[in-house]
């Protein structure tokens, strides 16, 4: 059983009403981003729809991860960055001074390339976001742990060792634990930064299946180097090159009839 | 083929440098091993009961004449005169002859030696060991027992035990009962000073206490008299006989009658007495328990003070402070603090903690006791604070490194879960760096436990009448002066009148200081290893 439907997402519906049939849940508006002098993202505009999987593909260094990490303002941690343009989440700006980064990150969960569980038990790992939010009711935590681990297809494997160290898990299990941790607090959006890059094919398949389940509940943005993965699990695909958004369409169009020659060259493996 | 030829003809590059590094390490290890070995051998030798020789000296020689009894400690050749000489422990110091118990005897002056079986060594309350032949025991109930009697050893043992019991009673009486009364007297006296209207009531109470005191003093006199009732008649080597009250003897043994096992047992017994007893005779005799305890308590207290201080400072420096020139200067200054001579910290501790903070605490909370200072004088609390300052740089540097070693991914994961920066540090970064913090604690303890110079200014004394922790309310007496093994080594080794007698004590005390530091460090290392296992980085 997956997550129960979360609270109505009124903001996003309002924002999407007047624009398109498919409400643009995340919308990036003329976004530019610099690491010091380096112009990393060049004038990107795109709309990412709700409850779909959107894949970012592109060669290394094309700033797809940078854009992803801007969606929960993780790049704020780096010294010397600045941006121009805006990113709207359900109609309201991420960079609005009234937005609290902490509450933003509660709405936008993130899974990293390298699994990074905490040096705590499996149980404590999953409920970390609840703990920091000050929610400590045992019955609620137990429920969240079971639901999140089932959501991450890990419950059956770890239900007997919830209170053992998370470092005892295998690499694939750790990554699914990180997914469980990211969805524990029921975010609206789940960002995945090459979640399968360090995993073997079987673990990768498990996580791809999981993504298909998760999209019923969450809006998922995934960065991947693996084009097969993009075709297998995404609904829409965006191709980035040298900090620019080259092409953005449904996955079927991108991989069968790309309009841009660069896209075609990339997906046919002429460069990477 | 040119390449192959040149490969063959060239000598191996860097081989000599590898040997050089290995030599450097070997030199270090050898030096440490020799030092530890020397301390271990000399430090444990003290407790091994040696055979006593009756040495007959040539008439009229410089070393003396006639038969003498003594333990030969060392046989060596005098570097200046080239004459072989023995260092002999004669003991038998007395009120009339309080000189030294060790003397050198030229081996040329020795006519003959023998090992008399019946010779006896006794540890006395005062003047160190006595070496003699027992003659007879006269007990307080009038029984007389010759040394040759079968029951003599048992009777002597009984008399010794009885004396030990009486000594303990006497000590309890003087320390606890009489001490309590004199404390109350001081309190009443101070009460009159602060509030003259209470003079009559306080004087009356003091008179009652005075009467109690007289009663207790009478009891003490009785006990002291009882201690002189059993008398052991002894004969010294030269033939003279004298009476030795059993009450002055702690324990006796006959070294030449002991088997190897008996020697070992006696050595252990002496070692445990050394560990558990208080010093006597200006620290020359008895044990070093107060010094061990003082060192232990001070080191623990210091660690408890320096750990939070260092961790908090390091968190600010590493996590919050904007990295720039100012932070660089602060960091360099912290590192340089580690190079400041420790005596400077002692002077600072005296000026700041003792004279400033302590003085004000006295004025605010202990005004009635003034002018006798409570916190306004050196004490274990101020000593711990001073050493905490001294070891702070070590702690900060170790913690900063530990914080920096926490992977970025883990921090990001915590932040992505909606944790604030402080929550990230508190819940994720700090636990993960706990092993590194403990490394800092270990280094700080090793440094702090071995410091002596600053302590001499802020609370260490040659002889502390009471321990900093005891069963008397409020149990922790942070204002008390204390004894310290490092200072004890200095005091015994360089301030005692009998240099040769002090030497073995110095080695034994040094050994114990090293053992104490090692034990404390080992326990910290054990805790760290446990934490390491728990927080080992997750890898694929």
The DSSP-derived string for B33-50 is: HHHHHHHHHHHHHTTSPP
pLDDT value, residue B8: 60
Residue A178, token pair as written in the block? 């990180």
Closest chain A C-alpha to B404 CA, distance in angstroms: 15
Residues of B in contact with A181 (CB under 8 A): 413, 417
Closest Cα in chain B to A191: B416
Residues of A in contact with B540 (CB under 8 A): 115, 171, 198
Band of residue B255 on the pLDDT scale cut at 50, 70, 90 = confident
Q: Please spell the DSSP secondary structure of B298-335, one letter per residue.
A: HHHHHHHHHHHHHHHHHHIIIIISPPSHHHHHHHHHHH
Residue B195 CA, distance from chain mean position = 43
Strand partners, A249: A237
Band of residue A6 on the pLDDT scale cut at 50, 70, 90 = very low
Closest chain A C-alpha to B314 CA, distance in angstroms: 20
Query: Cα-Cα-Cα-Cα dihedral of B15, B19, B24, B30, to 10°?
Result: 170
Lowest mean pLDDT among A79-93, A244-258, B94-108: B94-108
Strand intervals (E) in chain A:
24-35, 38-49, 53-57, 81-89, 92-93, 108-111, 189-193, 219-223, 236-241, 244-250
Strand intervals (E) in B429-536:
none
Band of residue A131 on the pLDDT scale cut at 50, 70, 90 = confident
pLDDT value, residue B180: 81
Closest chain B C-alpha to A177 CA, distance in angstroms: 12
Cα B91 to Cα B103: distance, rounded to the nearest angstrom: 10
Inter-chain contact B538–A132, Cβ cutoff 8 Å? no
A29 touches A88 (CB < 8 A): yes
pLDDT at residue B259 above 80? yes
Query: What is the sign of the dihedral through the CA atoms of A246, A251, A255 and A258?
Result: negative
Nearest to B412 among A109, A112, A132 (CB): A112
Band of residue B383 on the pLDDT scale cut at 50, 70, 90 = very high
Q: What percent of chain B has pLDDT over 90?
A: 15
pLDDT value, residue A10: 40
Mean pLDDT of A179-200: 85
pLDDT at residue A3 above 80? no
Cα A36 to Cα B80: distance, rounded to the nearest angstrom: 78
B523 touches A152 (CB < 8 A): no
Band of residue B345 on the pLDDT scale cut at 50, 70, 90 = very high
pLDDT value, residue A161: 86
Q: What is the pLDDT of residues B448-470, one digit of tens each?
A: 888 889 999 998 888 877 787 77
pLDDT at residue A192 above 50? yes
Residues of B in contact with A74 (CB under 8 A): 412, 415-416
- For chains A and B, CB pairs below 8 A equal 80
Residues of B in contact with A165 (CB under 8 A): 534
Q: What is the pLDDT of residues B400-417, one digit of tens each?
A: 999 988 888 888 889 888
Cα B346 to Cα B343: distance, rounded to the nearest angstrom: 5
B498 touches B89 (CB < 8 A): no
Q: Please spell the DSSP secondary structure of B261-299, one letter per residue.
A: HHHHHHHHHHHHHHHHSPEETTTTEE--HHHHHHHHHHH
Residue A268, token pair as written in the block? 């046919």
Q: What is the pLDDT of residues B272-323, one digit of tens each?
A: 988 888 888 777 778 888 899 989 999 999 999 999 999 999 999 988 888 8
Inter-chain contact B534–A131, Cβ cutoff 8 Å? no
Q: Tell which phi-psi region holds residue B364, choosing left (phi > 0), alpha (psi between -120 and 50) or beta.
A: alpha
Distances (CA, A) of B259 to A207, B48, B151, B265, B269: 77, 12, 20, 10, 15
Mean pLDDT of B489-494: 88
Mean pLDDT of B364-373: 76
pLDDT value, residue A73: 87
pLDDT value, residue B393: 92
Q: Which residue shows structure tokens 């092409």?
A: A247
Closest chain B C-alpha to A249 CA, distance in angstroms: 28
Q: Which of B321, B322, B324, B418 to mutate to test the interface with A (most CBs of A within 10 A)?
A: B418
Lowest mean pLDDT among B175-179, B271-275, B438-442: B175-179
pLDDT at residue B26 above 90? yes
Nearest to B418 among A74, A166, A185 (CB): A185
pLDDT value, residue B390: 92
Inter-chain contact A105–B416, Cβ cutoff 8 Å? yes
C-alpha closest to that of B416 among A102, A234, A239: A102
Q: What is the pLDDT of residues B495-539, one digit of tens each?
A: 877 777 788 888 989 999 988 888 888 888 888 888 877 765 443
pLDDT at residue A66 above 80? yes
Lowest mean pLDDT among A1-15, A59-73, B63-77, B277-291: A1-15
pLDDT at residue A9 above 50? no
C-alpha closest to that of B535 among B435, B419, B427: B435
Residue B502, token pair as written in the block? 């002090």
Residues of B with CB under 8 A from a CB of A: 407, 409-410, 412-420, 423, 427-428, 431-432, 534-538, 540
Closest chain B C-alpha to A131 CA, distance in angstroms: 9
Cα A241 to Cα B494: distance, rounded to the nearest angstrom: 79
Band of residue B35 on the pLDDT scale cut at 50, 70, 90 = very high
Closest Cα in chain B to A164: B534
Closest Cα in chain A to B408: A116
Closest Cα in chain A to B532: A119
pLDDT value, residue A13: 38
Query: Cα-Cα-Cα-Cα dihedral of A223, A229, A232, A238, to 10°?
Result: 40
pLDDT value, residue B10: 63
Cα B64 to Cα B466: distance, rounded to the nearest angstrom: 44
pLDDT value, residue B11: 63
Length of chain A: 272
Band of residue B343 on the pLDDT scale cut at 50, 70, 90 = very high
Q: Please spell the DSSP secondary structure of B155-205, one letter per residue.
A: HHHHHHHHHHHHHHHHHHIIIIIIHHHHHHHHHHHHHHHH-GGGHHHHHHH
Q: Which residue shows structure tokens 């530890």?
A: B36
Whole-number mean pLDDT of chain B? 85
pLDDT at residue A265 above 90? no
pLDDT at residue A28 above 80? yes
pLDDT value, residue A1: 39
Lowest mean pLDDT among A54-68, A121-135, B56-70, B265-279: B56-70
Lowest mean pLDDT among A8-12, A43-47, A148-152, B230-234: A8-12
């Amino acid at each position: 059983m997956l997550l129960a439907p979360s609270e109505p997402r009124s903001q996003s519906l309002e924002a999407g009403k007047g624009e398109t049939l498919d409400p643009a849940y995340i919308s990036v508006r003329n976004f530019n981003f610099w690491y010091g002098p380096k112009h990393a993202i060049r004038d990107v505009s795109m709309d990412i729809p709700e409850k779909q999987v959107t894949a970012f593909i592109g060669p290394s260094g094309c700033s797809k991860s940078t854009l992803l990490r801007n969606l929960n303002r993780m790049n704020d941690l780096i010294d010397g960055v600045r941006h121009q343009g805006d990113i709207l989440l359900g109609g309201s700006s991420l960079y609005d001074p009234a937005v609290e980064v902490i509450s933003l990150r509660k709405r936008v969960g993130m899974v990293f390339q390298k699994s990074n569980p905490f040096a705590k038990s499996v149980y404590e790992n999953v409920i970390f976001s609840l703990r920091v939010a000050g929610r400590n009711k045992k019955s609620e935590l137990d429920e969240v742990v079971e639901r999140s681990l089932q959501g991450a297809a890990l419950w059956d494997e770890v239900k007997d060792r919830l209170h053992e160290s998370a470092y005892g898990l295998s690499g694939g299990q750790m990554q699914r634990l990180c997914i469980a941790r990211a969805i524990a607090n029921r975010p609206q959006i789940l960002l995945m930064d090459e979640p399968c890059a360090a995993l073997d094919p079987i673990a990768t398949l498990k996580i791809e299946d999981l993504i298909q389940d998760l999209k019923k509940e969450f809006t998922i943005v995934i960065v991947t180097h693996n084009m097969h993965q993009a075709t297998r699990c995404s609904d829409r695909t965006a191709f980035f090159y040298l900090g620019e958004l080259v092409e953005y369409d449904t996955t079927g169009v991108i991989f069968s009839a790309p309009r841009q020659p660069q896209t075609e060259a990339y997906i046919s493996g002429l460069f990477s | 083929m040119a390449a192959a030829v040149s490969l063959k003809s060239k000598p191996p590059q860097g081989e000599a440098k590898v040997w050089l590094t290995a030599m450097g390490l070997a030199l270090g290890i050898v030096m440490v091993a020799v030092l530890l070995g020397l301390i271990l051998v000399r430090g444990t030798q003290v407790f091994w009961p040696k055979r006593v020789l009756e040495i007959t000296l040539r008439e009229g020689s410089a070393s003396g004449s006639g038969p003498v009894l003594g333990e030969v400690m060392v046989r060596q050749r005098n570097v200046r005169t080239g004459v072989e000489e023995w260092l002999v422990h004669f003991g038998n110091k007395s009120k009339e002859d309080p000189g030294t118990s060790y003397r050198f005897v030229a081996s040329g002056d020795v006519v003959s030696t023998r090992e008399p079986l019946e010779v006896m060594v006794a540890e006395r309350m005062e003047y160190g060991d006595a070496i003699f032949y027992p003659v007879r025991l006269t007990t307080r109930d009038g029984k007389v027992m010759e040394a040759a009697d079968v029951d003599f050893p048992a009777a002597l043992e009984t008399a010794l035990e009885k004396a030990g019991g009486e000594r303990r009673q006497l000590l309890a009486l003087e320390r606890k009962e009489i001490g309590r009364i004199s404390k109350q007297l001081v309190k009443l006296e101070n009460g009159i000073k602060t509030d003259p209207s209470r003079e009559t009531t306080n004087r009356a109470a003091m008179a009652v206490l005075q009467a109690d005191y007289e009663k207790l003093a009478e009891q003490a006199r009785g006990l002291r008299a009882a201690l002189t009732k059993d008398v052991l008649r002894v004969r010294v080597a030269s033939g003279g006989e004298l009476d030795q009250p059993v009450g002055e003897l702690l324990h006796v043994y006959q070294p030449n009658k002991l088997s190897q096992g008996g020697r070992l047992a006696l050595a252990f017994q002496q070692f445990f007495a050394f560990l558990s007893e208080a010093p006597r005779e200006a620290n020359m005799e008895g044990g070093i328990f107060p010094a061990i305890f003082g060192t232990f308590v001070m080191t623990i207290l210091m660690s408890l003070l320096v750990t939070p201080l260092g961790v908090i400072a390091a968190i600010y420096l590493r996590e919050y402070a904007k990295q720039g020139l100012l932070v660089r200067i602060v960091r360099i200054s912290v590192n340089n603090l580690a190079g400041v001579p420790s005596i400077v910290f002692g002077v600072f501790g005296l000026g700041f903690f003792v004279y400033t903070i302590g003085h004000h605490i006295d004025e605010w909370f202990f005004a009635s006791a003034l002018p006798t200072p409570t916190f306004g004088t050196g004490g274990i609390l101020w000593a711990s604070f001073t050493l905490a300052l001294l070891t702070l740089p070590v702690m900060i540097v170790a913690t900063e490194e530990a914080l920096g070693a926490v992977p970025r991914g883990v921090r990001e994961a915590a932040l992505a879960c909606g944790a604030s920066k402080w929550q990230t540090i508190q819940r994720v970064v700090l636990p993960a760096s706990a092993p590194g913090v403990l490394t800092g604690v270990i280094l700080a303890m090793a440094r702090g436990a071995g410091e002596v110079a600053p302590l001499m200014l802020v609370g260490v004394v040659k002889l502390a009448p009471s321990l900093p922790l005891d069963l008397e309310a409020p149990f922790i007496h942070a204002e008390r002066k204390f004894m310290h093994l490092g200072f004890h080594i200095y005091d015994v080794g360089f301030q005692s009148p009998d240099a040769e007698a002090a030497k073995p004590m110095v080695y034994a005390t040094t050994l114990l200081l090293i053992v104490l530091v090692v034990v404390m460090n080992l326990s910290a290392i054990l805790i760290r290893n446990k934490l390491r296992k728990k927080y080992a980085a997750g890898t694929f």
